[in-house]
Amino acid sequence: MKLNLILVSLYFVFSQNCLASEYIAYFTKSIDKKTIHHQHTKVRRIFGPHQKFALLESNKSLDDLRAILKKNEYFKHLSINSQINLFNEKELKPILSKQKLKQVIKNKKVNGYWWQENISLKKAHQIYQGDDRMIVAVLDTGVDYRHPDIAENIHTNDNEVPNNGIDDDNNGFIDDFKGYNSYSAGGSAMDDNGHGTHCAGIIAGNGKMTGVAPGVKILPIKFLNNYGQGDIAKAIEGIYYAVKNGAKIISNSYGNPNSNEAFLEAINYAKENDVLFFAAAGNANNDNDLRGEYPANYHLGNVISVGAMNSNLHKSSFSNYGQLSVNLFAPGETITSLDVNSGYKVRSGTSMATPMAAGVAALIWGNSPELEPENVVEILVKTTSKHQSLYPLSQTPGSINAEYGLKNMTSPSKLPIPRSSIMVQEYILNSETPYQNNTNRPYLVSKANVKMMALNFTKIDIENGYDYLQIESTNGKVLKKITGRISGGITDFFPHNELIIRIISDHSTAGQGFEINKIKYVVDKK
C-alpha cells in the first residue's frame, strides 16, 4: 500500500514538472504559425493587434523558450500568460435587504446614490449627458445587455447575425452582436457574474438608475468567467476588439501584481489609437508606489489609475493608493448600480470608482470631441474636487467632479501647506541610465535655507519588486520607497533641506533609473 502511494506521488510530481506552460510571444511584424513552429512548442493561436501576438504552449522554461525564439529576427519579447482576477470584494459588500435596496432604487436615497451628489452629477447633466458618438468599452465579466436600464445603451453590431456560428461581417470575430466574448473566443458578451454589469451601469445606466453618462454607448467585452477569472491573452484580445470597434475609453476593474510585457504592448496599441485606459488601483490598502498593481501601474500616458473614496471624503479603507502611481480618486464605496437578471446591487471597491472616472471622461470628451486624449486627462485631473485627506495619496489630492470637468473649472487646492509659501526651482538630476546591477548608489539633492522640500520626478524606471528607489534623510532614515515604472510626479514635502535618492539593485535586470527636473520647497524664515 505504501509503495503504491509513493509511486502515485512520484507520478504526480513528475507529471506536474512536465506540464506545459502558456506563454505570449510578441513580434515586430505580423507572423504565422509556420514561422515560429518548434518541436517543443505548440502554437495555440496567432492573435491581437496586427497578428503580432502568439499564444504558445511549451514545457520549456521561459528563458529556454526565449533563446529559441530569438532566432526569429522579428521576435521582441516573451511573457507568461498569467491569470487575471477581479479584486477581492468579499468584505466590502454592505448587507442590504432586498426591500431596503428597492427603496434606494425607488427614492434614490443618499446611502446608495451619495456619489451622484458628490460628483455634482445633476448640474453636469444640465449641461450634457453624453451621446452615442462616444463608445466606452467595459472589459470585464460581460454586461447583462438585456437589463432595461442599459439595453438601449449597448453598442450593437448590426452586420452580425447572432448565434449562427459565422463571422458574417468578416471582422475576425464570430457572433459579436452585442459586444464580444474573448473568454470563449466567440459570441456576445452576456454577463454571468454581475461585476461587469455593475460597472456598465455606473457609466451609462439610463432607467431607474442613472449613470454618469447615460447617453453614451457601452461596448461589453467578456474576458473573465463567472468566477471573475481570465488571463493576459484574453485581455489582449479584448483590448484589440475594443479599439477596432471604435471605443475611445476602456474601463478596467481587475488586476494582477505582476507587470507583463505583452499586456503593455496591447495598452500601447490602444494609446497609439487615441484610446484612454482607466484602471482600478486595487483593494488591498497597498501603496502602489512600492508594490505595483497592473494594469493600473503601467506608465503609459493613456493609463489612468483610480483609487476609491467614501462619502466622508476620505480614502476608502480598502483602496490602494500611491502619490506617484495613482492619478486620482472617485467614489467607490457603497455604490448602487445594476446587476444581472434585471437586478440591482450595492458594491464597494476601486472597481466601482474606475467606471465612474471613465464616465466623467466620456462626458468631457463627448462634449468637446476636438480634444486630444491627453487634454481629456489633463482636464479630468485638473478639475477634481480637492480634499486635504487625499494628500499625499495620489498625483492629485482630489476626486472626480463631472460639473467642473464639463466647465473646465479648477477647484481650490487644499494642501496642508499654503500655496503662497511654496517655491519652485529647476533642479536637474539624473541617475545612470541604465543603473548598474548589484548597486547601492546614493544621489544627493540639497537646497540651503529651506525647511521642507518635494521632488518632481519626470521618470522612474526601477525593476519591479526586485530593485528599489529610496528617498532618505541624510541620517539614513527611509522616507519613501518606490519600485516599478512610473511616468513621474511630485512627491510629498519632506522636512529636510537635503535628501538622498538611493538606488538599490540585485543581480538581475536593471531599469533606466530616474530623472528629476525641479524641486518645490518652503523657505525657512528663521
Tell me how far apart the alpha carbons of residues 121 and 135 are, in angstroms, rounded to a whole number: 20
Is 140 assigned a catalytic role?
yes
Give the DSSP H or E segment for 404.
Answer: helix 402-407
Tell me how far apart the alpha carbons of residues 210 and 217 are, in angstroms, rounded to a whole number: 14
Q: Which residues of 91-106 are buried (b: 16+ CB within 10 A; e: fewer)?
A: ebeeebeeeebeebbe
Q: What is the DSSP letter of 318?
A: T
Tell me how far apart the alpha carbons of residues 404 and 407 are, in angstroms, rounded to a whole number: 5
CA angle 436, 437, 438 (to 5 degrees): 120
Instruction: Point out the catalytic residue in the list 120, 325, 348, 351.
Output: 351
Tell me how far apart the alpha carbons of residues 250 and 486 are, in angstroms, rounded to a whole number: 20
- For residue 68, what is its C-alpha cell? 529559441
Instruction: Point out the catalytic residue in the list 140, 175, 289, 461.
Output: 140
Is 195 assigned a catalytic role?
yes
* SS3 at position 103: helix
**SS3 helix, strand, coil % of the chain, rounded to 5?**
25, 30, 45
For residue 483, the one-letter residue type is T
Give CA 479 to chain center in angstroms: 27
- For residue 261, what is its C-alpha cell? 510585457
Instruction: Point out the catalytic residue in the list 195, 198, 387, 496.
Output: 195
Q: List residues with catalytic annotation.
A: 140, 195, 351
